[in-house]
């Protein structure tokens, strides 16, 4: 099982790179020219999202570096303790929807400090793997097309995040607790 | 809501830094974050170009249309307002497939492409359409089969069983996907009702 999953993730991208151009060629598509035509869009989109990224990352950076995030985590700690969640994973839970790189850093730190096979190490792994960087996705996706009013998208994204966090905690307690 | 959260993060950060006596951290962190944002965007250029190039080949070869036809029952249910053969469907499917396979880097280019396609169906370009909200909800609450990055980190930390977290991750993301679909249905009705 373990071996199989590691092999699948190693092969996924090479197989996509192998299969799509080959299939295209067999169907008579001028593969190189088509690739270049598609790739052209990459630059425009990446440049267009810069202002949105700057805005979001600056707010997150200040919130985190100032110690405000840790303070927020400490305030929430007693509540979590009541339901049996180790407070150590709280910064990860708060960081996860804000910044993918930041959350990965915290998860790696937790795994290194407590060991990958400890309860905290496993819980941090599941939390990291099961939620997404909602604010980044929202900012970048909406920013790239100029949508400014998000309707209920943020509420829905956060609902999905909170659901998977709670599910991660419950499932880890049942399986590894 | 996003305006308020943005403002609160900024103000809370500055106030805490001020009270704890290291206000200079704010200057440092904000300038550094601004630079990081640009670096991130530049890294994204290469990735975007590569995946959008492959997507174009897959489109021209009819692969995307084939996939869209196979998954039509799901997309009709989730995105009733998108016309049957609209290119947005193909990009949405490619984005969700990348998410499910844990290919985070590939998901963003497909997602941005999907948003562009969805925007062509938007009567009020400043405001998100319900289909966009559904798409973003699915994106954040997406089923993940192979959390490849974290498996790598666990293996590097010499775990005795790096992939033991795969089962729990599938269960947790399966649950959040169900919640995202149900929440989308509810919020759609609630939001439309409130606006009359």
Q: Which of residues 52-91 of A touch B (CB under 8 A)?
A: 53-68, 71-72
Which residues of A fall within a CB distance of 8 Å from B103? Answer: 12-13
Which residues of chain A have a CB within 8 Å of the CB of B5?
A: 154
Domains of chain B: total: 1
Number of neighbours of residue A87 by Cβ within 10 angstroms: 15
Q: Searching chain B, which residue's CA lies closest to the CA of residue A104?
A: B150
Q: What value does the mean pLDDT take over residues A137-156?
A: 90
Size of interface A-B (CB pairs under 8 A): 364
Residue B24 lies in a domain: no
pTM recorded for the entire structure: 0.84
Asked if residue B64 is part of any domain, the answer here is yes
> Which of 16-75 (B) contact A at CB < 8 A?
16-17, 20, 22, 25-26, 28-30, 32-34, 36-38, 40-42, 44-50, 52-63
**Bridge-partner residues for B127, per DSSP?**
A149
Q: Which residues contact A77 (CB under 8 A, 6 or more apart)?
A: A87, A90
Mean pLDDT of B58-62: 92
Most distant pair of Cα atoms in chain A: their distance? 64
The residues spanned by each domain of chain A are: 1-49, 67-176
Kindly report, residue by residue over A87-97, the tens digit of the pLDDT: 889 889 888 88
User: Mean pLDDT across the stretch A104-126?
Assistant: 92
Q: Is residue B41 part of a domain?
A: no
What confidence category does residue B196 fall into, taking pLDDT thresholds of 50, 70 and 90?
very low
Assess contact for A106 and A91: CB atoms under 8 A. yes
pLDDT digits (tens, 9 = 90+) for B144-153: 888 878 888 8
Assigned domain for B34 exists? no
C-alpha–C-alpha distance, residues A172 and A88, integer Å = 15
Q: Does A33 touch chain B (CB under 8 A)?
A: no
CB spacing of A129 vs B144 below 8 angstroms: yes
**pLDDT for res A83:** 77
A115 contacts in B (CB within 8 Å)?
157
In a domain, B65, yes or no: yes
Q: How far is B143 from B172, CA to CA, in rounded Å?
A: 8
pLDDT number for residue B195? 57
The range of the structural domain enclosing residue B149 comes to: 48-193
Partner-chain residue, chosen from B49, B127, B176, that has the shortest CB–CB distance to A130: B176
Checking if the pLDDT of A54 tops 60, the result is yes
Is it the case that residue A129 has pLDDT exceeding 50? yes
Prediction ipTM score: 0.83
Q: What is the model's pLDDT at position A133?
A: 84
DSSP assignment of B5-60? HHHHHHHHHHHHHHHTT-THHHHHHHHHHHHHHHHHHHHHHHHHHHHHHHHHHHHH
- pLDDT attached to residue B131: 95
CA–CA gap between residue A115 and residue A93 (Å, rounded): 18
Listed range (A112-121, B122-131, B142-151) with the worst mean pLDDT: B142-151
The confidence score (pLDDT) of residue B145 equals 85
What is the pLDDT averaged over residues A71-100?
Answer: 85
């Amino acid at each position: 099982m373990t071996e199989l999953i590691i092999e699948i993730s190693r092969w996924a991208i090479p197989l996509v790179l192998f299969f799509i151009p080959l299939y295209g060629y067999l169907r008579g598509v001028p593969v190189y020219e088509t690739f270049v035509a598609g790739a052209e869009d990459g630059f425009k989109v990446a440049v267009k999202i810069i202002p949105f990224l700057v805005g979001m990352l600056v707010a997150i950076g200040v919130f985190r570096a100032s110690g405000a995030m840790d303070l927020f985590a400490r305030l929430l700690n007693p509540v979590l303790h009541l339901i049996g969640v180790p407070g150590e994973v709280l910064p990860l839970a708060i960081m996860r929807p804000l910044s993918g790189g930041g959350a990965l850093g915290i998860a790696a730190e937790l795994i290194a400090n407590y060991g990958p096979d400890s309860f905290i190490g496993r819980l941090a792994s599941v939390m990291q793997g099961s939620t997404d960087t909602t604010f980044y996705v929202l900012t970048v996706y909406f920013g790239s097309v100029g949508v400014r009013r998000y309707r209920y998208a943020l509420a829905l994204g956060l609902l999905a995040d909170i659901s998977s966090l709670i599910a991660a905690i419950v499932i880890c307690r049942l399986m590894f607790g | 809501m996003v305006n308020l959260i943005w403002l609160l993060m900024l103000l809370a950060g500055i106030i805490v830094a001020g009270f704890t006596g290291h206000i200079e951290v704010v200057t440092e962190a904000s300038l550094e974050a601004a630079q990081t944002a640009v670096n991130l965007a530049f890294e994204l250029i290469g990735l975007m170009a590569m995946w959008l190039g492959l997507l174009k080949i897959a489109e021209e070869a009819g692969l995307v249309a084939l996939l869209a036809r196979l998954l039509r029952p799901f997309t009709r249910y989730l995105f009733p307002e998108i016309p049957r053969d609209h290119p947005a469907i193909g990009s949405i499917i490619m984005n969700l497939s990348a998410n499910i396979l844990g290919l985070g880097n590939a998901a963003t280019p497909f997602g941005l492409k999907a948003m562009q396609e969805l925007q062509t169906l938007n009567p009020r370009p400043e405001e998100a359409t319900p289909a966009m909200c559904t798409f973003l909800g699915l994106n954040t609450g997406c089923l993940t089969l192979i959390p490849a990055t974290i498996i790598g980190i666990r293996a590097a930390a010499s775990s005795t069983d790096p992939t033991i977290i795969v089962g729990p991750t599938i269960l947790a993301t399966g649950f959040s996907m169900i919640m995202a679909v149900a929440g989308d249905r509810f919020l759609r009705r609630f939001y439309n009702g409130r606006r009359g």
